[in-house]
Amino acid sequence: MLKAKLARYRAQLLEPTSKSGSSGTGFDVQKAGDARVALIGFPSVGKSTLLSKCTNTVSEAAAYEFTTLTAIPGVVEYQGARIQLLDLPGIVEGASQGRGRGRQVVATAKTADLILVMLDATKSEEQRRLLEIELDAVGIRLNKRKPDVVFKRRTTGGLTTTVKLTKTNEKTIRTILASYKLHNCDVMIREDITTDEFIDVLIGTRKYIPCLYVYNKIDAISLEMVDKLARSENTVVISCEMSLNLDYLVERVWESLGLVKVYTKKRGERPDLSDPVCLRKGATIEDVCLGIHKSLATNFRYALGRSSKFSPHAQKVSLNHQVQDEDVVSIFTK
């Protein structure tokens, strides 16, 4: 019950319902490209240098702290996709409570499709733990997937579990529901979840974002330490100063985003392989239409889809047909 109350009060503090009063200057950066990647880290870990090296965007970099005071966007072009890289100001301990413009930083990070946590390889692992605590406190869940729980408010209802709960129990879940004044609702739990995960589902504002831990300044540590860090899960080791491993970092970013490329083709012509439509895995023909122009979906008649991996022959498909990576599509309108 205490955990549930604490989560609710923290959510109210971070996202006040009242619109009165000044909210302060935010980072109003328009989302551009096919995906957004946010750079987060403590001051002076090399975020600005990385942005400059990867995107040819000038971001002030210096040996002293807090050189970046607002969000600076740049674009990485890779395999025909345009990926927006966002250099956010360095956050400090206590950012989730608003210290050092921390709330604006993490609020912008919530809009990202991938988070790069920049770390200094010459410093202790404590910095990684502190950053994870700050992001967790504002509802960002790194490298976690949303719990398989279906929750709906009803005039009547009950609790259904399809698996045995070992990390919590039905009584605890009912108590948490009562603390949120949820007496009539349908809850279906389809995996063995913890109490914290169930509270996350109830609050509903949690963001589940993939993350890569990027260790900079590897030129200043031993080879044994570099090897140990490189073998860690979801980790990339780089040196911005010496431009080491930056190509591999961009490759890992592409893999983590999980984008699919769809090529368009006019009748009687070859597919345009230079300008693919980049979409999320699970995207449909309708998403392809919207990615080109919204009028295509409105006036859609049918599409001819050809998969380079599965079927060499064109097949007539509808709007809800799911596209695969490197599919070739011709769209016909009314």
Identify any residues that bridge with 87 across adjacent strands, giving them in sequence order.
39, 72
Q: Could you tell me the residue ranges of all domains in the chain?
A: 27-144+208-257, 149-203, 259-333
Task: Tell me the pLDDT band of 215, cut-offs 50, 70 and 90.
Answer: very high
Q: What is the CATH code for 27-144+208-257?
A: 3.40.50.300
Least trusted range by pLDDT, from 33-37, 88-92, 313-317:
88-92
Span 104-109, mean pLDDT? Answer: 79
- Kindly tell me if the per-residue pLDDT of 209 is higher than 90: yes
268 phi-psi bin (left φ>0, alpha ψ -120 to 50, beta other): left
Model confidence pLDDT, tens digit, residues 272-313: 888 888 998 889 999 999 888 888 888 999 898 877 655 667
Share of the chain above pLDDT 70, in %: 85
Q: Are 40 and 28 in contact (CB under 8 A)?
A: no
Predicted confidence at residue 247, as pLDDT, reads 94
Quote the CA–CA distance of 321 and 307 in Å, as a whole number. 12
Model confidence pLDDT, tens digit, residues 46-87: 888 888 888 877 655 544 444 455 788 889 998 888 999 988
Going by the DSSP 8-state scheme, the letter that residue 96 receives in this structure is G
> Reduced to 3 states, what is the DSSP secondary structure of residue 251?
helix
Span 111-130, mean pLDDT? Answer: 91
Q: Are 121 and 220 in contact (CB under 8 A)?
A: yes
Q: Could you tell me the sign of the dihedral formed by the alpha carbons of 138, 143, 144, 145, in that order?
A: positive
- Kindly tell me if the per-residue pLDDT of 21 is higher than 50: no
Model confidence pLDDT, tens digit, residues 220-230: 999 999 999 99
Predicted confidence at residue 141, as pLDDT, reads 93
Quote the CA–CA distance of 221 and 119 in Å, as a whole number. 13
Predicted confidence at residue 46, as pLDDT, reads 83
Residue type, 91: I
Least trusted range by pLDDT, from 23-37, 90-104, 148-162, 237-251:
90-104
Helix (H) or strand (E) holding 109: helix 102-109
Quote the CA–CA distance of 75 and 84 in Å, as a whole number. 5
Task: Tell me the pLDDT band of 165, cut-offs 50, 70 and 90.
Answer: confident
Span 107-116, mean pLDDT? Answer: 89
Q: Are 14 and 103 in contact (CB under 8 A)?
A: yes
Q: Which CATH number fits domain 259-333: 3.40.605.10, 3.10.20.30, 1.10.287.1770, 3.40.50.11860?
A: 3.10.20.30
Q: Are 329 and 305 in contact (CB under 8 A)?
A: yes
The pTM assigned to this predicted structure is: 0.81
Predicted confidence at residue 84, as pLDDT, reads 92
Span 11-18, mean pLDDT? Answer: 60
Predicted confidence at residue 20, as pLDDT, reads 45
Identify which has the larger pLDDT, 92 or 314. Answer: 314
Predicted confidence at residue 253, as pLDDT, reads 94
Residue type, 292: I
Least trusted range by pLDDT, from 29-33, 165-169, 272-276:
29-33
Least trusted range by pLDDT, from 151-155, 186-190, 218-222, 276-280:
151-155
Query: Within a 10 A sphere around the Cβ of 196, how many other Cβ atoms?
Result: 15
Q: Are 18 and 93 in contact (CB under 8 A)?
A: no
Least trusted range by pLDDT, from 10-19, 25-34, 48-57, 270-279:
10-19
Predicted confidence at residue 208, as pLDDT, reads 94
